[in-house]
Amino acid sequence: MNLKELYQEIILEHGKNPRNLRKTEGFNKDAKGNNPLCGDNVHVYLKLNGQKIVEDASFEGSGCAISMASASIMTDLIKGKNEHEAKEIVEDFLGMIKENPELKSEYLSKDEKTKLMCLSGVKQYPMRVKCATLSWHTMVSAFDEKKEEVKTEN
Amino acid sequence: MNIDQIKKEFPIFDEKIQNNDLVYLDSANSSQKPKIVVDRINEFYTKQFSNVGRSVHYLAVAATNLYENTRSSVQKYINAKDKNEIVFTKGATEALNLVANTLGQSYLQEGDEVLITELEHHSNYVPWHFLRKSKNIKINFAEINEEGEITLEEIEKKITPKTKLISITHLSNVTGAILPVKEITQLAHSKGIIVVVDGCQGAPHLKLDMQDLECDFYAISCHKMYGPTGLGVLYGKKKWLEELPPYQGGGGMINEVKKDKISYGELPNKYEAGTMATAQVIAFDQSIKFLESIGIENVMKHEADLVEYGQELLQKNNSVKLIGNPKNKGGVLSFTIEGVHPHDIATILDEDGVAIRAGHHCCQILHDKLNIPASARASVGIYNTKEDLDQLNQSINNCKKIFNL
């Protein structure tokens, strides 16, 4: 266990000043997620253009530093990706946060991988994995236009 | 009273938790277990096990006597008038569901009002919500004041001619407020209103006297009382338990079963359908013995000292904001730290072996009212010391350091 690994500067910074914490104007996909056990909630908004590429992504909600930083980094790097690419990145991220030592997706640049790997410390804290994954599950739900709220598994 | 000696009776404190000494500040969630309780479960299963109330063989009779013996101990401990006013349940949640369900079946009518408070745990709200759905009853909420208390005046204000029942916590698991249950009951009874008390936090920390409180029902959670999980107690006035219908059907609760008619058993069997948590009931007798050996007055004094000390400590710690400041307060210190989410606080404290709870503590109504999504809560038990609270404060400082506060 290593708190420094969990609470890296970049996570604290994103947690304190989350990017894209707003509601995208003219969004065409959205979904809500919540974590009933701890009361965290997130609402993800996506705006896809004619070519089905994410033109803008944003979120509203409240939660711990891990969940805010995760949503912040996610909405940042998903911009410019299409649905297929975005979903592959989600799979890659979920795999990494649970067990994989590294990210594999070719749709992520080296910089993006480095940024996402900041969240890898969560792996050692099983109770906190759901904090990191809530916004990602919610984004998939937005792509799939699911009506029901996402509830985190653990 | 020697706390170090008492602490030694709890085997968990001999363990290293992630290489740390355990600073257990989560007793409002569930208390740790003294060795005599753990040993009793082991002994019963190893040497004395049998189902109760069914067979006539030696072990069955002996087990039945042990089981009923705990009922008598509980009766004595809470000063109930009659042994049959003690019903074992799977927990306080089931006890409250039993009350809501049976009153819903035969007493509460459409349009009747139930008064609860903003302090209530979900287990003292959701069962009444079921009746709101199925019977169209109305639920009203008594509101907290600035200090996080529910006053007698507020209850009086919220009573209407349609109020049939008041269901309140004895001690809030978030603000720590101790409610004036006796006075509320007197007021309610003068208006013909039933009183149900959620005693989850009251029972482990306060002196209980049912004949003095005079409430109609009182729900107890045994695992918060240094007892086993899977067990609760419902105290109910005899006239209610006799009058109300059974809650669950099955073996043990019947008198006679025919193809065209069924009659139900006498109290307390009427409410104890199926094989009960036998080992837990028998071991719970040891929890009561444990509490009696210390004396509830000593427990109350020790915990009041701790909470006063903890409150002073946290009040002096800038960035920490305590939730509620009730005059009459039990051993609960709920707080927030500006700029750090309670889950992050709990994770960081855990690294030092300090176990607290973070979240809404099953009190979403209260957290909505306070306009916070979650809080951190440190709660004390008989084994805690001032050093534990010093460690809490020190770990909070570490948390502030990590978050650059």
Read off the pLDDT of residues B293-315 as tens digits, 9 standing for 90 and up.
999 999 999 999 999 999 999 99
Residue in A7, A16, A39 closest to B359 by CB? A39
Residues near B285 by beta carbon (within 8 Å), at least 6 away in sequence:
B40, B66, B69, B70, B73
- Domain assignment of residue A151, yes or no: no
**Active-site residue identified among B215, B362, B363, B399:** B362
Q: Mark which of B292, B311, B327 sits at the end of a domain.
A: B292
Same domain, B272 and B345: no
SS3 B196: strand
Read off the pLDDT of residues B318-332 as tens digits, 9 standing for 90 and up.
999 999 999 999 999
Q: Two tokens at B97?
A: 């569901």
Residues near A148 by beta carbon (within 8 Å), at least 6 away in sequence:
none
CATH for A30 = 3.90.1010.10
**In this complex, is the C-beta atom of B367 within 8 Å of any C-beta atom belonging to chain A?**
yes
Helix (H) or strand (E) holding A83: helix A83-98
**Number of independent structural domains in chain B:** 2
CATH for B302 = 3.90.1150.10
Same domain, B233 and B300: no
- Domain assignment of residue A54, yes or no: yes
Detail the DSSP E strand segments found in B47-205.
86-89, 113-117, 138-142, 163-169, 194-198
Torsion of CA B64, B70, B76, B80, to 10 degrees: -70
Same domain, B257 and B284: yes
Predicted pLDDT of residue B24: 98
Q: Mark which of B238, B268, B292 sits at the end of a domain.
A: B292
The answer to whether the Cβ–Cβ distance between B360 and A12 falls below 8 Å is no
Contacts of A3 in chain B (CB under 8 A): 347-348, 351, 402
**In this complex, is the C-beta atom of A31 within 8 Å of any C-beta atom belonging to chain B?**
no
Separation in Å, CA B142 to CA A32, B164, B194, B233: 31, 15, 16, 26
Residue B267 clears pLDDT 90, i.e. is over it: yes
The answer to whether the Cβ–Cβ distance between B341 and A41 falls below 8 Å is no
Residue in B342, B364, B403 closest to A12 by CB? B403
Q: How many Å apart are CA B333 and CA B314, to the nearest integer?
A: 9
Q: How many Å apart are CA B229 and CA B212, to the nearest integer?
A: 28
Same domain, B17 and B43: no
- Domain assignment of residue A88, yes or no: yes
Same domain, B13 and B142: no
In DSSP notation, A9-60 reads: HHHHHHHHS-TTBS--TT--EEEEEEETTTTEEEEEEEEE-TTSBEEEEEEE
The answer to whether the Cβ–Cβ distance between A62 and B367 falls below 8 Å is no
Predicted pLDDT of residue A147: 77
The amino acid that residue B400 corresponds to is K
Residue B170 clears pLDDT 80, i.e. is over it: yes
Same domain, B312 and B174: no
Confidence tier at A153 by pLDDT (50, 70, 90): low
Q: Two tokens at B216?
A: 């109609």
Give the distance from residue B4's alpha carbon to the nearest chain A alpha carbon, in angstroms.
Answer: 30
Residues near A71 by beta carbon (within 8 Å), at least 6 away in sequence:
A18, A20, A21, A42, A44, A59, A61, A63, A134, A135
Same domain, B282 and B145: yes
Q: What is the mean pLDDT of residues B227-231?
A: 98
**In this complex, is the C-beta atom of A49 within 8 Å of any C-beta atom belonging to chain B?**
no
Same domain, B258 and B158: yes
Confidence tier at B1 by pLDDT (50, 70, 90): confident
**Residue to substitute from B20, B344, B351, interface A, most A β-carbons within 10 A:** B344
- Domain assignment of residue A152, yes or no: no
Same domain, B23 and B164: no
Residue B230 clears pLDDT 90, i.e. is over it: yes
Residue A139 clears pLDDT 50, i.e. is over it: yes
The amino acid that residue A129 corresponds to is V
The answer to whether the Cβ–Cβ distance between B359 and A63 falls below 8 Å is no
Q: How many Å apart are CA A9 and CA A1, to the nearest integer?
A: 17
Q: How far apart are the first and last CA of chain A?
A: 19
Residue A96 structural domain: 3-145
Contact (Cβ atoms closer than 8 angstroms) between residue A71 and residue A59: yes
SS3 B246: coil
Residue B239 clears pLDDT 60, i.e. is over it: yes
Q: How many Å apart are CA B324 and CA B179, to the nearest integer?
A: 13
Residue B343 structural domain: 3-30+295-402
Q: What is the mean pLDDT of residues A88-107?
A: 95
Share above pLDDT 90 across residues of chain B, in percent, rounded to a whole number: 97
Contacts of B374 in chain A (CB under 8 A): 38-40
Q: What is the mean pLDDT of residues B267-281?
A: 96
Read off the pLDDT of residues A26-74 as tens digits, 9 standing for 90 and up.
999 999 999 877 678 899 999 999 889 999 999 999 899 999 999 999 9
Predicted pLDDT of residue B89: 98
Q: What is the mean pLDDT of residues B255-264?
A: 95
Q: Mark which of B236, B270, B292 sits at the end of a domain.
A: B292
Same domain, B106 and B136: yes
ipTM: 0.88
**Number of independent structural domains in chain A:** 1
- Domain assignment of residue A25, yes or no: yes
Q: Two tokens at A124?
A: 């050692």
Residue B146 clears pLDDT 90, i.e. is over it: yes
B222 belongs to the catalytic site: no
Q: What is the mean pLDDT of residues A91-107?
A: 94
Same domain, B216 and B229: yes
Same domain, B288 and B307: no
Residue in B18, B342, B359 closest to A1 by CB? B18
Average pLDDT value over all residues in chain A: 92
Read off the pLDDT of residues B50-105 as tens digits, 9 standing for 90 and up.
999 878 999 999 999 999 999 999 999 999 999 999 999 999 999 999 999 999 99
In DSSP notation, B7-76 reads: HHT-GGGGSEETTEE-EE-BTTT-----HHHHHHHHHIIIII---SSS--SHHHHHHHHHHHHHHHHHHH
Contact (Cβ atoms closer than 8 angstroms) between residue B245 and residue B102: yes
Average pLDDT value over all residues in chain B: 97
Find the residue in A nearest to B399 (Cα): A3
Q: Two tokens at B157?
A: 């204000």
Q: Two tokens at A70?
A: 């995760």
CATH for B272 = 3.40.640.10
Q: What is the mean pLDDT of residues B327-341?
A: 96
Share above pLDDT 70 across residues of chain B, in percent, rounded to a whole number: 100
Find the residue in A nearest to B348 (Cα): A3
Residue B365 clears pLDDT 90, i.e. is over it: yes
